[in-house]
Amino acid sequence: MGSAAARALAAREALLAHPRHLVLAALVGGLLAGPHAAAPVVVLLALAAAGLAGRPVPAALAALALLAGALGAHARLTALDRTQLPPLLGTTATARVVLLEQPRPVRFGRTALARLDQRGGERLLLRIGQDVAWPPAPTGAIVQVRGRLHALGPFERHYARRGAHAALTLDAAVATGARRGGLAGLVDGIRTRAERALSAGLPPAQAALLRGMTLGQDEALDARTREEFRAASLAHVLAASGQNVALLLALALPLLAWAGAGLRGRLLGGIALIALYVPLAGAGPSIQRAGAMGAATTVAALAGRPASRWYALLLAAAATLALNPRASGDPGWQLSFAAVVAIALLAPTTRRALLARRVPAPVADATAMSLAATLGTAPLLAWHFHQLSLVGVPANLLAAPAIAPITWLGMLAGALGQLSPALAAPLNGLDAYLLAYVGWVAHVAAGVPHASLSW
């Protein structure tokens, strides 16, 4: 008991020594509580934040930050929930929509998130049945659709967190040949050229895997591959996350230095690449978190200040929640933050213990990070997906040597593909062997008896 009290006191002293961390944490607390807690509870939380701060000025700032976060979350949700669609539910509608993602396979067809090209640009879920001919339309394309409007079903609530106000069960869909313009349209063009480049010279299955590992696009993966990666606890490599952002910076910064860019030029270039990569990779909660943390760390380096992982993590939470206060309910958001926190808390101790037993440093690093991330995310994986992998650590250790080369070659192929897909083919040829290896690891690990437990 005394040890626990000493640790709690040490944690409080650390917070008091960094009041900006406390104020930012209070803001995040307000953004988290705003959509769920009643006003009296928010006030009590603000008083608790003030009590934790202790000194008058930090106490007042912490309380105000928490209240501001809660009020800001309410205001943002009011704006996100504004809709003109409820009176039209149950009717047949014809509309032009902007496709925001590629259709994903579900049990009885496919679903995709789209935005109306009129009526204020509201978002809705497209239900694409197996009997509906869906045109080959890239992300950002404008499609003419006809169908019946419905409220979102109980298993479609995750689309509500992404801003969808209704579901349109399609009867027909026709590509118009038009695409959205502006900055989003420019990013769409870059993404389309990158997708073509990542498919050059590869079989469809390997091309889908490479797009998943480079751009976080797993829609084209077959059900068996997706299930094997999930059972082997390798599904995280198919989603754009912090690892992708770190690998992007690890690739880009030396290349910028080789090109003659100074420190400021390299860091500004890194921030620009992060700002481009986040929407290219779908701008999901996990990549938003990774982008915000990467940008915060890079800005700290640009300012000549030591980077704080905890402050960057709080900044990422504040940024993603300010953009969408419902993001905290997304499994990807939760898993992303849980993995970072677990690595920060558990990996250093595990690494030191392994090094003390004369484990080679690269193996100790990979083992410590894999074990920490696995332990940190296991409860959430069991809760959301009712599955717990027992082969995650060895599978991740076996796959780890190939992950960075695959991603780097994929990023270079996507960049060269802006000029011509043919330029990417040699890089994809090298990647094919690594992709085959990672696929083999997932297949073998998933085939181990009791590789995963139903929870």
pLDDT of residue 375: 86
Residue 390 confidence (pLDDT): 85
User: Which range in 32-41, 141-150, 216-225, 358-367 is most confidently predicted, on average pLDDT?
Assistant: 141-150
Class of domain 86-179: mainly beta
What residue spans define the domains of the chain? 2-80, 86-179, 191-454
pLDDT, mean of residues 149-172: 92
> Which residue type does 171 have?
D
The highest-confidence range among 238-242, 275-279, 428-432, by mean pLDDT, is 428-432
Residue 18: is its pLDDT beyond 60? yes
Mean pLDDT for all residues in the chain: 88
Whole-number Å distance between alpha carbons of 455 and 452: 9
> Residue 10: pLDDT above 90?
no
User: What percent of the chain lies above the pLDDT cut of 90?
Assistant: 45
What is the predicted pLDDT for the residue at 276? 92
5 vs 454, higher pLDDT: 454
Beta-bridge partners for 123: 115, 164
Residue 1 has pLDDT above 50, yes or no: no
Dihedrals phi, psi of 35, to nearest 5 degrees: -75, -15
For the record, the structure tokens of 275 come out as 């700002």
Q: How far apart are CA 128 and CA 147, in angstroms?
A: 10
| DSSP-derived 3-state class of residue 157 | helix
In the prediction, which pLDDT does 387 show? 80
Q: Which residue has the higher pLDDT, 255 or 305?
A: 255
Query: How many Å from the N-terminal Cα to the C-terminal Cα in the chain?
Result: 33
Q: What pLDDT is attached to residue 75? A: 94
Average pLDDT of the residues in 11-15: 61
Instruction: Spell out the residues 6+ positions from residue 423 whose beta carbon is closer than 8 angstroms to its own.
Output: 197, 416, 417
Query: Of the segments 15-19, 33-37, 135-139, which one has the largest average pLDDT value?
Result: 135-139
**Would you call 126 helix, strand, or coil by DSSP?**
strand
CA-CA distance, 143 to 140, in Å (whole number)?
A: 9
pLDDT of res. 4:
45
Percent above pLDDT 70 for the chain? 94
pLDDT at 50: 81
pLDDT in tens, 261-281: 888 888 889 889 999 999 998
Mean pLDDT of 422-429: 95
